[in-house]
Amino acid sequence: MKTIFLDLDDVCNQFMPTALKYLGCNIDNLTGRWRMDIVTMANLSHPTKTFSRFGFWNLFNREFWATIPVSEEFADLFDYCVDLVGLDNICILSRTVETGSCFLGKLDWIREHFPKQMYQQYLFGTSKYFCANADTLLIDDDDSNIRMFRKHGGQGLLIPRLWNNLYYVDTTTHISTFFNKRLP
């Protein structure tokens, strides 16, 4: 592989739990697999509010997007990526919602957590499979993104999260096993 596309939300950072807590949702009692979208999760875990799909995303300002904590695996995952393909061949591939605060906040997050060289190595869009070919790897937490990327000729590494098919797998072990098979 020559290029790695690295998802931002819930791969590099902790978007889902941070967003739910930010809205006042009680996620401490949620156990098992979260097999639902974030708006449904918010509606099930908030003690009093109901969120519409349209209004939900407008609740997050630029500062929220810019200050989402890094994921526990981010440093090691990023080091593995650099070791495998080099810094020049890593591109952040993330989806934004239709608010300027999301886009600008994600740019702020990139500038805070990635080397300066990567400040222009990002693409935003929903159809990640457009970047797929035999020389590319997508690292993502969304089953459907990985499935479509593979269908279009790319390789995929699904990061285990409570909302995907690897919810029962240890994330650190999964990542290290994947990269140790590819690194000399």
Q: 114 and 31, same structural domain?
A: no
Quick: pLDDT tens for 124-170. Answer: 998 999 999 999 999 999 999 999 999 999 999 999 998 888 988 99
Residues in the chain, how many? 184
Looking at the 3D structure of the chain, how many domains does it have? Answer: 2
pTM of the model as a whole: 0.94
Give the model's pLDDT for residue 37.
81
Q: Are 113 and 66 in contact (CB under 8 A)?
A: no
Residue that has been written with the tokens 């990542």 in this structure: 175
Q: 77 and 47, same structural domain?
A: no
Q: 152 and 87, same structural domain?
A: yes
Quick: pLDDT tens for 15-42. Answer: 999 999 999 998 776 655 666 788 988 9
Q: 33 and 8, same structural domain?
A: no
Closest CA to 91 of 141, 134, 142, 125: 125
Q: 156 and 94, same structural domain?
A: yes
Q: By mean pLDDT, which of 29-33, 70-74, 79-83 is the weakest?
A: 29-33
